Amino acid sequence: MKKDGFSTNDVCEFFNISKSTLFRWEKEARIGPIKRSAGERVYLNADLSKIIQLKLAALYEKAARLDNAEEIHEIDYKKSLYKIFCGNKIGLDELREYNYKKKEFPPDDIKLLLKFTIDRYNPNEPYFVQVIDLVSKMCRAATP
């Protein structure tokens, strides 16, 4: 494994949240305390898990307000993607299943998954190979 943690920018990009939201959650003690390295915040897997819970709660609340089944399906997809960000291998299986159902993957998600994997893992690690294999299938599914 290359990295033990992620920067503020990485976390905001992975979860599509603003820095102000992330810092507000920290200030409200909904996440944290956040480890610091050379004065910079470093978010660990435990922090990512809490961020996922907060992000998913907000998404489910929005979907319930809209009473939209498609939105709930999208949240389940995002949950699988977020699991991968936390190193949870079940997320890979869930996204493979999603791929087998011939669903399209948003190009931005493919890009994020690639960035995350390259930043986090060494190419000789089995998890790296598994994620890259999935990304390859995602790209083929997205190509007409």
Q: How confident is the model at residue 142 (pLDDT cuts 50, 70, 90)?
A: low
CA distances 76 to 14, 60, 92, 116, Å, are 16, 10, 13, 20
pLDDT averaged over the chain? 83
Residue 41 neighbours by CB distance under 10 Å: 21
19/78: higher pLDDT: 19
pLDDT at 18: 95
Mean pLDDT of 121-128: 89
Phi and psi angles of residue 84, each rounded to the nearest 5 degrees, phi first: -65, -40
Q: What is the pLDDT of residue 33?
A: 74
Does the pLDDT at position 112 exceed 60? yes
Q: pLDDT tens, 1-56?
A: 556 788 899 899 988 899 999 999 999 989 877 878 788 888 888 888 899 889 88
- 133 Cβ contact partners less than 8 Å away, ≥ 6 residues apart: none
Full-model pTM: 0.74
Closest CA to 142 of 95, 113, 106, 91: 106
- Which pLDDT does position 136 carry in this prediction? 86
* pLDDT band per the 50, 70, 90 thresholds, residue 65: confident
